[in-house]
Every structure is written in C-alpha cells, then in structure tokens.
Amino acid sequence: MFEQLEVKDVFPTPVWVADLGAGEAESFNQHLKALIYKLTEPRKELAVGGNWQTDPRLHEREDFAPFCKKVKQVGKAALDFLQISYDDFFISGCWANINPKGAHNSSHMHPNNYLAGVYYVALPAEKGTIFFSDPRAQAQTMLPPAKQWNKYIGNEIRLDVKPGRFVLFPAWLVHSVPINPSEEHRISISFNLMLSNYVENISKPLWKKGTA
C-alpha cells in the first residue's frame, strides 16, 4: 500500500477576497451609492441586458479618494503575497456599474493591466455571484460526470459576493456576472491595477549576459 497520497496544486490562479467590517461597509456603501447615482444621472433607457457605467476615471476624483485608498491597500496585500519585485503600482482605471433587472456582464478580461478587481456596493437580497472561467483550454477536453463538485474538476468557478466585499484577481482571468433577476439594482465598482515603470524596469529581459 502507499504510505501516503499527496496532492500538489500546480500553476494555481489566486483570487483574493477582502471584506470590510459590517458596520463600516454599511455607511461606506451608502455614501458610494449616492455618489454613483449622482454621476449616472440622467440614466438613459437601456437595451435589454445593458447597464449604466460611469467614466472610467473615478480614481482621479477627490470624492472617491477614500475608496481608492482601500483599493491600494488590497492591491498591496495581493502584490506582497505574490512576492514579486516592483517599485510601485497605480490604479489605471476605475468605474462604477449599475445593473438593473436583466443586466449582466458577459465573459471578458482586462487587457494591459496586472491585476483587476471589483468592489460590491449594493446587491439584491445582499448577495450575488461572480464567475471565473478556467484559463486552461485543454482542461475542457474531458469533463466526466462528477459525484461531487470540487475545485479540481469543472471549467468554471463560482464565487459568492456581498456588499462590502473586494475581489481581486489577475487581469487576464476571464470572468462574468450573471443576469440580475431582481427589480433592485446591482451596484459595483471595477478597477484595474498596473505596476509602475513596467516598460522601463520590470519588462527588461530576464536573461543576463553570459547566460544561454
């Protein structure tokens, strides 16, 4: 018999989740919600499945400075976890989303950024979902029936979300948000993070003179 069976996770894809305290999240989200509604007025009629979005430069606005401070804190924690070498990083885009009934966000990624994230301001019934697609195309060549779902099978990961929750992930990871079936609005703030001086310092060849 085997002495032991060890499972090693190879090429893992990290997704970070950070929650504000319940008391802080409630007041913080009320303030953000008021700002977002003001910025999206007047809200024009949408095509089926559409949603309202703000300008993608909320990080340049003084009234969103407290929010961006929290984004930078979450971003630093993620980068420190990865143990990569970098001088600094910055918010390269930040925008709010209002999903009315029937709205959804189809599968997409955030090109030309290192990390992407979303913060949940308001959700129908105080809960929601974000889906992440398996980036390994070959993993879908065989999908046998499962006795019980687990992270080692299937081609999509479902993550439950709630107001006051940050979700951060590699910007290349394909994600989507299902249809909002409720009359209540689903409100979130998306953001991108990029490493400073990437072209000047980080993207230089890893090889050095004298190596093959």
Q: How far apart are CA 212 and CA 83, in angstroms?
A: 26
pLDDT of res. 150 = 85
Report the range of poorest mean pLDDT among 20-24, 134-138, 143-147, 204-208.
Answer: 204-208
Tell me if the pTM is above 0.75: yes
Average pLDDT of the residues in 8-22:
94
Q: CATH second-level architecture of 16-127+161-198?
A: Sandwich (2.60)
Q: How far apart are CA 83 and CA 28, in angstroms?
A: 31
User: Residue 22 phi/psi, 5° resolution?
Assistant: -55, -45
User: Residue 168 phi/psi, 5° resolution?
Assistant: -125, 140
| DSSP structural state of residue 74 | H
The number of helix segments (H) and strand segments (E) in the chain equals 2, 10
For residue 25 the two structure tokens come to 């999240």
pLDDT of res. 140 = 83
Q: How far apart are CA 108 and CA 7, in angstroms?
A: 31
Portion of the chain with pLDDT greater than 90, in percent:
75
pLDDT 10s digits, 79-106: 999 999 999 999 999 999 999 999 998 9
pLDDT of res. 163 = 97
Which of 179, 133, 184, 182 has the alpha carbon at shortest distance from 159?
133
pLDDT band at 8 (very low <50, low <70, confident <90, very high): very high
pLDDT of res. 59 = 98
Residue ranges per structural domain of the chain: 16-127+161-198
pLDDT of res. 172 = 97
CA-angle at 48, arms to 46 and 54, nearest 5°? 40
Which of 9, 102, 94, 23 has the alpha carbon at shortest distance from 59?
94
| DSSP structural state of residue 178 | -
Q: How far apart are CA 150 and CA 63, in angstroms?
A: 42
SS3 percent helix, strand, coil of the chain, rounded to 5, is 25, 30, 45
pLDDT 10s digits, 161-201: 999 999 999 999 999 999 999 999 999 999 999 999 998 88
Residue 195: other Cβ atoms inside 10 A: 21
